[in-house]
């Protein structure tokens, strides 16, 4: 029986890494991330659990790299059973009238353009039976979240359109909302927060995957 494959974009750390670990017993993990060392550490944890991973140290904003990745997936496995998109560019918080143009450009490239490009490339790999999962963060409109909030909301708008378009024909598209977790991204946004009050990242990954099983 062919082993299922799970493509995790943004797998270096945080929720992406936790999802990769949780899926490793049942899926071959294709882990995409920018930090080689963090991917190698993830690989060690997956192997310790008896799983296997293919590491892809790439930036999702690099269109050529994403083309190469998807071509490689097609040539080796033919399809992708599950795609979890957790890659995100978290621009610094700032008053809206002081939003830096370069930060906004990076946010657009990482959160909107890259997502649209990935949907275009990965949809054929998912076919009609695969599944794509996006993760909402309802911060749009909150103070100081202009660049991140606006582009994250746009990313989810893309996912919702795709979800509606494929509801009858596949692939299945899910949009989940994680509980607050002690990730590096959240620490940048809320540096004085009591992290003990946040949800364990591995428990949250398990909760989210359980929703997909329903």
The fold for domain 4-213 equals Rossmann fold (3.40.50)
pLDDT for res 140 = 82
* Secondary structure tally for the chain: helices H, strands E: 8, 6
CA angle (48, 134, 173) in 5-degree steps: 110
Which candidate, 124, 112, 208, places its Cα nearest to that of 166? 124
Q: Give yes or no for a contact between 31 and 55, defined as CB atoms under 8 angstroms apart.
A: yes
pLDDT for res 2 = 78
* 86, two tokens: 């957790």
Q: Cα(121)–Cα(115) distance, rounded to whole angstroms?
A: 10
Those residues whose C-beta lies under 8 Å from the C-beta of residue 98, and which sit 6 or more positions away, are none
pTM: 0.96
Those residues whose C-beta lies under 8 Å from the C-beta of residue 55, and which sit 6 or more positions away, are 31, 36, 39, 40, 42, 43
pLDDT for res 1 = 64
Domain boundaries, given as residue ranges, for the chain: 4-213
Q: What is the mean pLDDT of each run of 10 residues along the chain (214 residues)?
A: 92 97 97 97 96 98 98 97 97 96 97 98 98 94 94 98 98 97 93 94 98 90
pLDDT for res 214 = 81
CB atoms within 10 A of CB 189: 17
Q: Cα(95)–Cα(31) distance, rounded to whole angstroms?
A: 35
Q: Cα(86)–Cα(209) distance, rounded to whole angstroms?
A: 14
* 84, two tokens: 């979890």
């Amino acid at each position: 029986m062919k082993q299922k494959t799970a493509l995790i974009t943004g797998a270096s750390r945080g929720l992406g890494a936790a999802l990769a670990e949780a899926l490793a017993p049942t899926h071959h993990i294709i882990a995409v991330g920018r930090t080689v060392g963090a991917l190698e550490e993830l690989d060690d944890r997956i192997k310790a659990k008896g799983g296997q991973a293919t590491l892809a140290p790439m930036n999702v904003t690099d269109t050529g790299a994403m083309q190469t990745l998807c071509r490689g997936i097609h040539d080796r496995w033919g399809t992708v059973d599950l795609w979890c998109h957790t890659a995100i560019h978290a621009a610094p918080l700032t008053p809206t009238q002081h939003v830096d143009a370069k930060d906004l450009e990076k946010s657009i490239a990482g959160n909107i353009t890259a997502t649209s490009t990935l949907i275009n490339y990965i949809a054929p790999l998912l076919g009609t039976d695969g599944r794509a999962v996006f993760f909402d963060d309802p911060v749009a409109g909150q103070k100081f979240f202009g660049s991140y909030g606006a582009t994250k909301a746009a990313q989810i708008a893309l996912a919702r359109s795709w979800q509606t378009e494929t509801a009858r024909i596949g692939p299945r598209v899910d949009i989940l909302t994680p509980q607050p977790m002690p990730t590096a991204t959240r620490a940048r946004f809320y540096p004085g927060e009591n992290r003990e009050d946040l949800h364990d990242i591995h428990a949250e990954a398990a909760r989210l995957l359980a929703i997909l099983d329903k």
